[in-house]
């Protein structure tokens, strides 16, 4: 069976990932980050944006230095670190999800400068609380995503963070974040496609509503994924993995238990081709990654290439 008989696809990108294999980007070492990088590439993931949940200013600064050091030490057998995604701090307490609201800050320039770094490439915030930070970030070339929020005015926003989750939903008489994201063809939408965070029917609604090139497949993968533990501390709370989903004690979803490669396999089995959206992440960030995944007729990976080297071959 020839490799060329089946699909050749761009390497996958993780736009929103908190960790995996038991490693938490809010609490890890340089060696931990490099270990994750190697394991991600072996799954066909060519690059990623380590994503920080709400934390103290001191720890965010410390972990930013760790990610930067790891990036400077990366080798060709690793998924590339493209930048840091700040998901927490600047969000709305009313849509906190699993995040620790005691550490939230007003989204303004003064507060952002407490953590500012040139490796920060994405910031999730609540636009309804904005006090000038959106404009500042746009001028710096940082992607601004609306998330953990209530506001329906998405002016100046590049995208939304995990649409439908931790944001105001659709109400037929009111403006909302979700509704604005669905009808605005210029706004990119992160979509957790694991069929846990969204039903299959909701996913189909997004696909019908949004231009194909504005859909960003993400995992929102948590450190518990692919590890040997069933519970851990995350966002200053205990979270639990039941074999399918990761939640708080109260049942609040905390993120995904899967990486994007496994999510795309699930979609394929449900008649949805998720691989066609991967190229949108390249467009969104203007990325260039030299490599490909070769897939068989079941969307299983046959071969992974990066920088003209074979990383994996079945």
Report the pLDDT value the prediction gives residue 57, as an integer from 0 to 100. 98
Domain assignment present for residue 286? The answer is: yes
Instruction: Name the token pair of 93.
Output: 């307490």
Distance of CA 14 to the CA centre of its chain: 6
Q: What's the domain range around 185?
A: 13-293
In-domain check, residue 308: no
The answer to the question of residue 50 being in a domain is yes
Dig out the tokens for 25 from the structure. 């980007």
The predicted model scores a pTM of 0.96
Tens of each residue's pLDDT in the chain, 314 residues: 444 447 899 999 999 999 999 999 999 999 999 999 999 999 999 999 999 999 999 999 999 999 999 999 999 999 999 999 999 899 999 999 999 999 999 999 999 999 999 999 999 999 999 999 999 999 999 999 999 999 999 999 999 999 999 999 998 999 999 999 999 999 999 999 999 999 999 999 999 999 999 999 999 999 999 999 999 999 999 999 999 999 999 999 999 999 999 999 999 999 999 999 999 999 999 998 899 999 998 888 999 999 999 999 98
CB 55 within 8 A of CB 26: yes
**Total count of domains within the chain:** 1
Structural domain contains residue 197? yes
Identify whether 109 is part of a domain: yes
In a domain, 285, yes or no: yes
For residue 54, is it within any domain?
yes
pLDDT of residue 6: 72
Domain CATH for 233:
3.20.20.140
Determine the Cα–Cα distance for residues 225 and 172; give it in Å rounded to an integer: 37
The CA–CA distances, whole Å, from 285 to 13, 100, 194, 209, 312 equal 10, 29, 23, 22, 26
Please report the pLDDT score of residue 2 as a whole number.
46
Q: Does residue 131 lie within any of the structural domains?
A: yes
């Amino acid at each position: 069976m020839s490799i060329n008989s089946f699909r050749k696809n761009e390497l996958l990108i993780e736009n929103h990932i908190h960790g995996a294999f038991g490693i938490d980007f809010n609490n890890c070492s340089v060696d931990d980050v490099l270990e994750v990088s190697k394991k991600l590439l072996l799954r066909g993931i060519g690059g990623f944006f380590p994503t920080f949940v709400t934390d103290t200013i001191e720890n965010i600064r410390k972990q930013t230095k760790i990610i930067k050091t790891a990036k400077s030490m990366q080798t060709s057998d690793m998924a590339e670190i493209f930048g840091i995604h700040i998901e927490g701090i600047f969000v709305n307490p009313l849509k906190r999800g699993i995040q620790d609201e005691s550490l939230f800050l007003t989204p303004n320039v003064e507060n952002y400068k407490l953590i500012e770094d040139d490796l920060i490439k994405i910031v999730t915030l609540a636009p309804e609380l904005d006090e000038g930070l959106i404009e500042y970030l746009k001028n710096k070339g940082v992607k601004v995503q609306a998330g953990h929020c209530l506001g329906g005015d998405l002016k100046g926003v590049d995208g939304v963070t995990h649409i439908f989750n931790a944001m105001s939903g659709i109400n037929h008489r009111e403006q909302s974040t979700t509704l604005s994201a669905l009808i605005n063809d210029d706004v990119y939408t992160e979509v957790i496609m694991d069929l846990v965070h969204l039903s299959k029917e909701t996913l189909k609604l997004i696909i019908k509503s949004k231009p194909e090139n504005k859909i960003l497949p993400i995992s929102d993968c948590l450190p518990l994924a692919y590890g040997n533990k069933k519970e851990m501390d995350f966002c200053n709370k205990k979270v639990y993995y039941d074999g399918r989903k990761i939640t708080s004690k109260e049942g609040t979803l905390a993120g995904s238990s899967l990486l994007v490669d496994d999510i795309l396999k699930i979609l394929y089995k449900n008649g949805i081709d998720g691989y066609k959206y991967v190229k949108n992440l390249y467009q969104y960030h203007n990325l260039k990654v030299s490599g490909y995944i070769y897939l068989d007729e079941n969307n299983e990976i046959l071969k992974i290439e990066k920088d003209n080297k074979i990383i994996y071959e079945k």
